[in-house]
Amino acid sequence: MNDMKAKHVSPSKMADVQSSEDHRNLAIEQVGVRGIRFPIMVQGEKDVHPSIAQFSLNVALPPEKKGTHMSRFMALLQESKEPVSASSMDLLMKKMIPLLEAKKGVIELSYAHFVNKFAPVSGIESLMDYQVTWTTEGHEHQGQVESIHFLKVVVPVMSLCPCSKEISDFGAHNQRSHVTIEVCLKKDTTIFVEELIRIAESQASCELWGLLKRTDEKYVTEKSYENPKFVEDLVRDVASHVAQLSSIDSFDVEAENFESIHNHSAYARIRS
C-alpha cells in the first residue's frame, strides 16, 4: 500500500480559482451565503440583549470574474461585535463590499426580538416575541460605500369584527392578526423596533401579552369589544401613524386577519 502524504504548499503559491477569468459574459446579480445562524446583540430602546439571527450576505459579481470568496463572508461575521442597528449594518456593509472586491451588496438578518411587557391589570411580567428583519443594500460610488436600510417587524395583535358586533345580539367574532411594518430609513437616521411595535399595538382592537391572569383576560375581551376594527381600519390606522415618523423615507404596511369563522385570511396593504 502506498503511503500517501499531503504536500505542504505555501498559501501564496496556491491557485486562486475564484479570481480567475470567466468567458461566458454573464454577470451574477447576487452571489453569497444564506441560512447562517449566528449569535447577535440587539440594540433595544432601553437596553442591549442577545438573540440568534439568520443571515444572508451576497454581492454582485461582474461577468469577467469566475467566483466570489465565500469564506470572506464568514470571516466578516466573526469580526462583527456591534449590537444590531442602522449604524452597525452600515459599518458591516462598508467592510463587506471592499473585502469582496464588489460594487454592490446586500445583507439581511432576521431574528426574534423580545420585549418585556406588563399585563394590563395584574401587572404580571412576561416576554413577548416579534419577528424582525434588517436589510441593507449597499453600492460603491466614487470610492465610497453608500447604504440604504430597511427595517421590518411583524406584530401579532387582536382584531374584532365591527360587522359581527353590529349584527349580533351578543358577542362578536375576533381573531389574532399580524401587522407587518417595513420602513426605509433616511440617511444617517435610526429607529428602534419598539417604536414600530407600539404603533401597531396601539391601533389594534387590543394588543397581546405572553401571560395573562383572569382579570387581564376580562380587560382584553372588553377592550377589543369596544374597539372593533376591520382589516381595512387596521391597515389605515397603522399606516397613518407610520407616515408621521420623521426618520423614514417610505413604508409598507400589511395587515392579515386569521379569520376565526373562515378557513382563509382577510388582508390589506398600503405602500407609500
Task: Write down the pLDDT at residue 54.
Answer: 98
Residue 116 has pLDDT above 80, yes or no: yes
When comparing pLDDT for 146 and 6, which is higher?
Answer: 146
Residue 16 has pLDDT above 60, yes or no: no
Fill in the amino acid letter for 57.
L
> 214: Cβ–Cβ under 8 A, 6 or more apart, which residues?
none
Q: What is the DSSP string of the chain?
A: -----PPP--GGGS--GGGSB--S---EEEEEEEEEEEEEEEE-SS-EEEEEEEEEEEEEE-TTB----HHHHHHHHHH--SPBSHHHHHHHHHHHHHHTT-SEEEEEEEEEEEEEEE-TTT--EEEEEEEEEEEEEEEEETTEEEEEEEEEEEEEEEEE-HHHHHH-SS---EEEEEEEEEEEEPTT----HHHHHHHHHHHSSB---S---HHHHHHHHHHHHTS---HHHHHHHHHHHHTT-TTEEEEEEEEEEE-SSSSSEEEEEEE-
Mean pLDDT on 259-265 = 94
pLDDT digits (tens, 9 = 90+) for 71-107: 999 999 999 889 999 999 999 999 999 999 999 999 9
Task: Write down the pLDDT at residue 106.
Answer: 98
Mean pLDDT on 162-171 = 94
pTM (predicted TM-score):
0.90
Percent of the chain at pLDDT exceeding 90: 85
At residue 2, φ and ψ (nearest 5 deg) are -70, 140
- Candidates 3.30.565.10, 3.90.280.10, 3.10.270.10, 3.50.50.60; CATH matching 26-271: 3.10.270.10
Q: Domain limits of the chain?
A: 26-271
Place of cell 411594518: 181
Q: Are 158 and 179 in contact (CB under 8 A)?
A: no
- Which of 240, 207, 38 minimizes the C-alpha distance to 115? 207
Place of cell 440617511: 187
pLDDT band at 3 (very low <50, low <70, confident <90, very high): low
User: Which grid coordinates belong to 209?
Assistant: 401579552
Residue 207 has pLDDT above 60, yes or no: yes
Task: Write down the pLDDT at residue 10.
Answer: 59
Task: Write down the pLDDT at residue 46.
Answer: 86
When comparing pLDDT for 270 and 11, which is higher?
Answer: 270
